[in-house]
Structure 1
Amino acid sequence: MVTAARQLHEAAIIIDAVCPLLDDKSTISAYRAGGLTAVAPTVGCWNGAGATLRTIGSWHKLLRERDDLILIRTAADIRKAKALGKAGIILHFQGPEPIEDKLDLIDAFKALGVGVMQLAYNVKNRIGDGCEERTDGGLSRFGRRVIERMNQARMIVDCAHTGVRTTMDAIEHSSAPVIISHANAKTVHPSPRNISDELIKAIAENGGTIGVVGFPGFVSKDKRPTIDQFIDHIVHVCDLVGTQHVALGIDYYSGQYPYMDDATSLKEYRTCLANNIWSREAYPEPPHFFPAGIETPETMLALTEALLRRGFTNEGVRKIYGENLLRVYETIWGE
């Protein structure tokens, strides 16, 4: 018998807005098994334009070769993917390094299908400060020009990993909604990577969304967080600003359990610390176990079941899973 949760899960548009696990393209099958409609591989982060172009080229080659994938450029493309039973691919930058210091590269990457770009990744850059930087100086002069060009090119401004003042400046300066693709509530768990109630309200007031993330260090102090601890962040944001501003940015990645052995994961973790990409305060030592029940993308039905147990309505689940992001996509990318 088909349960109410499965029926809702299969009918809903489900978007995971942050999917660095897709560095290994074979994991597309895991997201498909989990019922995801659209996923967002990280195609740019710390590399410059040349290396990023090669990554994007590999995705375009795969999209050409596989009939079960669709490049997402508009909200209609996501609805099309759902109707046809295909997987939508949203190209996402987790940092601005691919544009180097050239505004024209924003237009070039948008033409190649990059729909979303983060302004920072934890540390300072030419645009502004990251959320783990010693200072928080706000948006630079160059950063203001980046926001303007992103608005003109219809590329979404993402302030995940970005400093508070830089984010507030971006919201003030942007003519389009600003999102935080993946961050949890600092009130629920005080990680340096999580965001304050004030910032959650600012994102909501500008029409954006906050993607709740499953990385264990952002969920709770526990080594193996529960699915209810994950949902606690969803509940808090919903109570604060309403169900219409919450999304999913679960952030499954290749270094987590069970995709990488503990020794290799620890070695990569130490490299991230040495390169000042991560800090021990925000990123606990591996192994990294995502919330129990949704440890990997195949298990997403368990989240639907847990949300219904917690009292969420079908309408609320559909909003969180995809409709809220679709609203932003329609506003910025077009219908």
Structure 2
Amino acid sequence: MTSVADLHRQSVVIDGCAPLIANAQGVLDYMAGGFTAVAATVSDNVEGALGTLRNIGRAQKLIRSAGDALTVIRSAGDIDAAKAAGKMGIILHFQGGDPIENRLDYIDAYKSMGVGMIQLTYNVKNRIGDGCEERTDAGLSRFGLDVIKRLNEARIVVDCSHTGYRTTMETIEASERPAVFSHAGVRAVHPSPRNILDDQIKAIAQSGGLVGANAYPPFVSGDKQPSLEQLIDHIKYIADLVGVDHIGLGLDYFDGQHPYSTDEEAQVFYNKFLESGEWSPASYPPPPYLYPKGIETPDKAANLTEALLRAGFDTKEVQKIIGGNWMRVFREVWGE
């Protein structure tokens, strides 16, 4: 019988949202956790294209400096190759479409640089549409519709996370390829304004996409430190609603969480996002942020694999959740 450790080691493990990759210790912890590929946030929603170009350069420098340990991911086949070579793949990911500015051709430029997934908004309104923290919910702009079309043509995954309800529903309808919520919780399980509704989950599943289960503590439960079982409650809810083929991981480990930041550093990080208007106290309570017990940091990811088995998912279902479903979406959007 295959042990949990062997199952985790043999499986393709993908985190669809990994801003922690900006942290050197975070990179090591992801590698220690057996991740095959992670989606690193490289967008800069304040400085737009220029800031994003700097971030992409930093990510490429990180990959080069790691020698043979890291590799950039441009296709599903690259993830298979990374697994075979014992490397960890880096998927370049935007959390917000602001770096597109008002130029559709930037989408093609970003694709040529290796960007594989673009989230439309980050909580607030931009040229594309309304974010989920906005007062209004006006949906996609005309420019936003053009963005979806160009993302489809460029074969970049369309990410609806942090995006307003109407904007997500219109995006899913407009997209000719599977769309995703790279990292989201379920509103019916925990009523955070940032979590998504049942009809959003159903729509994303109908598109052929998935929801990446988000471990950011305030989206999991009302407890200061959620349990691993509370995170799995979100996964089980999605499985019951639309089937196990539409769940992935989008764990959302980040620099401002414990233990990567001191309490003082985390508070500075928090204040910056409150002042910018991108975070609201209703969705983002103050730090410290203690991730679910047992997977406090990404090096403990095998504990999630074990907990999924304990929750009643069989081996094949677990492999879909921890990476296989992401691979299916990537093959459909990026190709081999």
Output the TM-score relative to the length of structure 2.
0.97
Q: Secondary structure at the match of 2:158?
A: strand
Q: Determine the structure 1 residue equivalent to 2:8.
A: 9
Matches within 5 A, 1:252-271: 252-271=253-272
How many residue pairs end up in the alignment?
A: 334
Separation in 2 of the partners of 1:188 and 1:48?
Answer: 35
Separation in structure 1 between the aligned mates of residue 308 and residue 2 of structure 2, nearest angstrom: 14
CA distance in 2, matches of 1:64, 1:293: 32
For the 8 Å contact 1:45–1:96, the answer to whether it is kept is no
Output aligned runs, 1:187-226, within 5 Å: 187-226=188-227
1:257 is displaced (CA, Å) by 0.6
Aligned-partner SS, 2:31: helix
Aligned pairs for 1:12-161 (under 5 A) are 12-46=11-45, 47-65=47-65, 66-161=67-162
- 8 Å Cα contact 2:101-2:127 kept in structure 1: no
- Hey, what does 2:325 align to over in structure 1? 324
Aligned partner letter, 2:132: C
Give distance in 1, aligned partners of 2:218 and 2:93: 22
CA contact (8 A) 2:98 2:127 kept: no
Distance in 1 of aligned mates of 2:25 and 2:68: 15
Once residues 292 and 166 of structure 2 are traced to their aligned partners in structure 1, the CA distance between those partners, rounded to angstroms, is 30
Retained in 1: the 8 A contact 2:13–2:37? Answer: yes
Q: Deviations over 1:228-277 (max 9, x none)?
A: 00000000000100000000000000010111111221122122111101
Following TM superposition, by how much is the alpha carbon of 1:26 offset from its aligned partner in structure 2, in angstroms? 4.2
Two-structure CA RMSD over aligned residues (Å): 1.1
Which one is further off, 200-209 or 46-55? 46-55
In structure 2, the residue corresponding to 1:203 is in which secondary structure? Answer: helix
- Structure 2 unaligned spans of 5+: none
Query: How high is the TM-score relative to the length of structure 1?
Result: 0.98
Distance 1:54 1:284 in 2: 30
* SS across alignment from 1:168: helix
Percent identical among aligned pairs is 54
Provide the rounded CA distance (Å) in 2 between the counterparts of 1:179 and 1:310: 24
Q: Does the 8 A contact of 1:212 with 1:250 survive in 2?
A: yes
Instruction: Give distance in 2, aligned partners of 1:26 and 1:50.
Output: 26
1:45 Cα deviation from its structure 2 partner? 3.8
Q: 1:31-77, CA deviations, whole angstroms, 9 ceiling, x for partnerless residues? A: 01001000111000413111111111122233334212111011010
Give the stretch that moved more between structures: 247-256 or 18-27: 18-27
Name the stretch that deviates more: 49-58 or 70-79.
49-58
Point out 4+ residue stretches in structure 1 off by more than 3 angstroms.
Answer: none
Q: Which amino acid in the other structure matches residue 135 of structure 1?
A: T
